[in-house]
């Protein structure tokens, strides 16, 4: 652990810092000089002192028609208009809840730290000079326990990097430093563990030659200007230190182990039961921070953010690590148009001088020919020139003929103006205009033209997105190491998942990406819902309006609640009507059932009556047969042949009656069956 370092001790760290700075400056010096000229060119200073003196001697105007600012503002404005949000997305099969929680916390951190503005300022500075950094630090002003993550940016002239780095994430950068000029009260708040009396006794003013291209250094007598300020240098250096790791020998999953000796002894006893887990000792690559104030070391140890790497990411515009010349290795847009701007100023100054020379080219006179030579310098209307006696006006006083302007002189000026836009890759198409001048076009066509105009410089925006991705990883690690579960729950409104504080989650289970930028996470959720609705998802409108970023949302919710209540009342009335209808339908069914039962009983009664009739018919046949028998007995005197005929006639009569009765019975049975089916 690091901490307070007594004044006058451990000067080795200060010596290492001084040696690093001057060794690096020998390589970086040419870049700083070129970048400083780029910055002044953007601000509108493209004439050298020698050129200014020459123009003043010739009584000519020193014109500065700044065209560079327009080009820089064009790219800077596009970035500000199309900002993206850094979110955490789960990889296949990983924890979606944890990724969503990280995205919510990152929205909170970026909003509270004003990250969008900080990143845009750093990007705009890189457009001018080619290099800036965006960093993070912990602010304990409001939260005394966890602190709040804040962001800052620094220009090229306030930092020094290892000149041999080649990667944009600084993974191969061994040393780095930054400088601030702060008051003693500011330093006391930033180093609360240092005795205030030590800080109070520190010397003020600038007492070394480091960071010579800081703005204040270029002023006259910078020591007097900074007489109440102290140099606050932060010097990072990569080191290797011993670290214990808990390793799963089968899966290779590794976690740092930072327990004390008693906990380590207990852990080793537990590991005897699980051979696949082992506690090993290895080396960890981290950074050591040294804070040097007014040349005295006040702190040495790990970075207060808890990170094991630099707490900042460079924003590089054009970076060519294979070039050995540093004024060409890192460049901004200004570098490529600086000469065109100088030529534009020079040519325009010549044009104005030429135009003025046409108005008054001068005179050729003999000595003493004019009464007052100042008359020859008159301009405008009503000029009066008095010639002395004895001199010929036509021969002794003659006006110099003005030179002819070359036809292509003014046209060349337009070419230079166009080059200032086209050399860095900008064009009229980037503004949505056509090269042929047709400004009356649709908005979609203008958008397509602007998009096509940016393709030539898409790489600089891709580099910015890469830097924002690296920055997002730093912020996730800083959240895990500084924010407590209670603070996370307060931010997102729910308990963090079990994987939230796992050091392996960011490495294996999530990806840092850029998403559409919205003011809040709620708006992002709203736009995602709209996209799902456009795809046909059955999402109710009340759920969409709950998160809609609308003015008067409370009034809208009251209207929706009133409509919902009316709809509920209408549904209740409809349900009641349906119940009444069901009751009426049931009564009609019961009535129909009773009628059918009555008909069935009537049919059964008819069937019984038919059977009774059949029985009576049988009895009648029997009686008739008996009567016939009696008749036969009484007419014994009828001849035998005649008797047989009478008996046959009686049998036919019985058969006919039986058939008629059967027909009637079949009709009754069919009628009964029809009633049952009805």
Pick the most confident of 53-62, 244-253, 600-609, 615-624.
Answer: 53-62
CB neighbours of residue 185 within 10 Å: 11
* Distance, CA of 277 to CA of 250 (rounded, Å): 8
- Look at residue 49 and tell me whether its pLDDT is greater than 80: yes
DSSP 66-115: --HHHHHHHHHHHHHHT-EEEEEEEPTTS-HHHHHHHHHHHHHHHHHTTH
* Distance, CA of 541 to CA of 314 (rounded, Å): 45
Half-sphere exposure of 117 (CA within 13 A, CB side): 6
Beta strands 363-365 and 318-319 are unpaired
Pick the most confident of 192-206, 212-226, 342-356, 505-519.
Answer: 192-206
Residue with tokens 């500084």: 482
Residue-level pLDDT at 9: 47
Q: What is the pLDDT of residues 500-528, one digit of tens each?
A: 887 766 665 567 777 766 555 566 667 77
Mean pLDDT of 161-185: 93
Nearest C-alpha neighbor of 312 from the set 102, 193, 158, 192: 158
Q: What is the pLDDT of residues 390-431, one digit of tens each?
A: 777 777 777 767 666 666 766 777 777 777 777 776 666 665
Kind and range of the H or E element at 444?
helix 443-454
* Distance, CA of 476 to CA of 500 (rounded, Å): 10
Residue-level pLDDT at 390: 75
Nearest C-alpha neighbor of 505 from the set 148, 42, 89, 25: 89
Tokens of 171: 């993974």
Residue-level pLDDT at 59: 80
Better-predicted residue by pLDDT, 106 or 614: 106
Give SS3 for 273: coil
Better-predicted residue by pLDDT, 21 or 621: 21
* Distance, CA of 305 to CA of 314 (rounded, Å): 18
Residue-level pLDDT at 439: 54
Which DSSP state fits 216?
G
Nearest C-alpha neighbor of 245 from the set 267, 272, 270: 267
Which DSSP state fits 506?
I
Which DSSP state fits 243?
E
Tokens of 45: 């200073």
Half-sphere exposure of 604 (CA within 13 A, CB side): 7
Q: What is the pLDDT of residues 657-675, one digit of tens each?
A: 667 767 766 776 676 566 5
- Total residue count of the chain as it appears in this document: 678
Residue 153: strand pairing partners: 134
Residue 159: strand pairing partners: 178
* Distance, CA of 386 to CA of 393 (rounded, Å): 9
Residue with tokens 């035998």: 640
User: Mean of the per-residue pLDDT values for the chain?
Assistant: 79
Nearest C-alpha neighbor of 668 from the set 603, 611, 590: 603
State the pLDDT confidence band at 112, using cuts at 50, 70 and 90: very high
290-294, 449-453, 585-589: range with lowest mean pLDDT: 449-453
* Distance, CA of 126 to CA of 317 (rounded, Å): 6
Tokens of 433: 């205009």
* Distance, CA of 14 to CA of 184 (rounded, Å): 20
Residue-level pLDDT at 281: 84
State the pLDDT confidence band at 488, using cuts at 50, 70 and 90: very high
Better-predicted residue by pLDDT, 621 or 190: 190
């Amino acid at each position: 652990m690091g901490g307070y370092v007594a004044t006058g001790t451990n000067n080795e760290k200060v010596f290492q810092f001084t040696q690093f700075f001057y060794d690096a400056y020998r390589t970086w010096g040419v870049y700083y000089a070129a970048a400083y000229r780029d910055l002044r060119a953007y601000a509108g200073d493209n004439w050298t002192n020698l050129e200014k003196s020459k123009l003043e001697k010739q009584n000519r105007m020193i014109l500065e028609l700044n065209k560079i600012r327009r080009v820089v503002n064009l790219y800077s404005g596009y970035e500000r208009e199309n900002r993206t949000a850094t979110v955490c997305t789960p990889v296949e099969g990983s924890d979606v809840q944890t990724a969503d929680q990280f995205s919510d916390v990152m929205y909170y951190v970026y909003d509270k730290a004003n990250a969008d503005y900080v990143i845009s300022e750093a990007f705009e500075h890189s457009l001018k000079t080619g290099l800036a950094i965006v960093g993070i630090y912990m602010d304990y002003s409001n939260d005394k326990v966890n602190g709040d993550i804040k962001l800052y940016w620094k220009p090229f002239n306030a930092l020094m990097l290892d000149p041999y780095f080649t990667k944009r994430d600084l993974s191969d950068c061994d040393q780095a430093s930054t400088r601030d000029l702060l008051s003693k009260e500011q330093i006391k708040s930033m180093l609360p563990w240092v005795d205030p009396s030590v800080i109070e006794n520190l010397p003020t003013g600038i007492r070394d030659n480091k960071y010579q291209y800081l703005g204040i250094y270029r002023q006259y007598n910078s020591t007097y200007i900074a007489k109440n300020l102290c140099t606050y240098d932060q010097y990072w250096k990569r080191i290797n230190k011993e670290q214990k790791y808990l390793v799963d020998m089968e899966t290779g999953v590794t976690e740092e182990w930072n327990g004390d000796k008693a906990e380590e002894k207990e852990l080793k006893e537990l590991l005897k039961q699980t051979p696949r887990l082992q506690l090993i000792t290895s080396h960890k690559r981290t950074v050591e921070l040294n804070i040097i104030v007014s040349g005295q070391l006040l702190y040495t140890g790990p970075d207060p953010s808890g990170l094991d790497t630099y707490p900042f990411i460079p924003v590089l515009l054009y970076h060519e690590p294979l070039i050995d010349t540093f004024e060409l290795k890192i460049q901004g847009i200004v570098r490529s148009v600086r000469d065109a701007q100088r030529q534009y100023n020079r040519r325009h100054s010549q044009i104005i001088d030429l135009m003025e020379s046409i108005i008054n080219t001068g005179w050729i006179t003999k000595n003493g020919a004019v009464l007052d030579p100042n008359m020859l310098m008159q301009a405008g209307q009503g000029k009066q020139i008095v010639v002395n006696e004895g001199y010929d006006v036509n021969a002794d006083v003659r006006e110099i003929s003005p030179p002819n302007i070359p036809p292509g002189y003014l046209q060349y000026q337009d070419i230079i103006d166009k080059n200032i836009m086209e050399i860095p890759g900008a064009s009229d198409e980037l503004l949505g205009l056509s090269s042929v001048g047709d400004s009356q076009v649709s908005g979609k066509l203008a958008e397509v033209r602007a998009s096509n105009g940016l393709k030539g410089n898409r790489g600089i925006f891709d580099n910015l997105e890469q830097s924002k991705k690296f920055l997002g990883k730093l912020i996730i690690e800083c959240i895990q190491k500084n924010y407590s579960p209670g603070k996370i729950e307060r931010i997102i409104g729910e308990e963090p998942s079990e994987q939230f504080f796992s050091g392996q989650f960011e490495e294996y289970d999530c990806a840092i990406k850029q998403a559409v930028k919205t003011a809040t996470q709620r708006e992002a959720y709203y736009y995602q819902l709209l996209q799902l609705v456009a795809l046909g998802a059955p999402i109710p409108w009340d759920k969409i309006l709950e998160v809609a970023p609308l003015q008067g949302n409370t009034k809208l919710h009251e209207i929706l609640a009133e409509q919902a209540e009316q709809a509920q009342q209408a549904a209740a009335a409809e349900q009641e009507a349906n119940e009444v209808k069901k009751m009426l339908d049931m009564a009609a069914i019961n009535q129909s059932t009773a009628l059918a039962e009555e008909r069935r009983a009537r049919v059964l009664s008819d069937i019984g009556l038919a059977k009774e009739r059949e029985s009576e018919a049988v009895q009648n046949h029997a009686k008739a047969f008996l009567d016939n028998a009696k008749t036969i007995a009484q007419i014994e005197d009828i001849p035998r042949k005649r008797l047989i005929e009478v008996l046959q006639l009686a049998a036919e009569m019985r058969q006919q009656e039986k058939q008629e009765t059967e027909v009637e019975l079949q009709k009754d049975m069919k009628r009964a069956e029809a009633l049952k089916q009805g």
